[in-house]
Amino acid sequence: MGIYIPPRVKRDQFNRIVTGRKTPEDFKHLIGMKVNDILLFDVSTDADLEAGKTILPRHFYIFIGNRDGELQFKPYEYDQYRIVVTTIQGVIITIDSIG
């Protein structure tokens, strides 16, 4: 992990603030990692950060959409913090979508 750089404030033509959305490309560093080795922000500590463990951004969580070739039930409602992944034997092989 590196130093947190907050997103820049972007404005549209009507001077409204436009918030950036995360894409699957933002989480491509998770490919090849075991799901159990990735920590949620809420349960992580400074010791975990210093040890170099992977910590998800605040509010984000991993949802396994396809486990070992078997499709899993996915809720219909949209959640901007849900990272949908495909795993084989607990290892992430693809980041399918966000939400």
pLDDT digits (tens, 9 = 90+) for 10-37: 777 787 766 657 888 889 999 999 999 9
**How do beta strands 82-88 and 61-67 pair?**
parallel
Q: Is the pLDDT of residue 1 over 60?
A: no
Dist CA 77 CA 12 (whole Å): 27
Q: Alpha-carbon Rg of the chain, whole angstroms?
A: 15
Backbone dihedral angles phi then psi of residue 22, each to the nearest 5 degrees: -75, 150
Q: Is the pLDDT of residue 61 over 90?
A: yes
Is the pTM higher than 0.85?
no
Dist CA 6 CA 26 (whole Å): 14
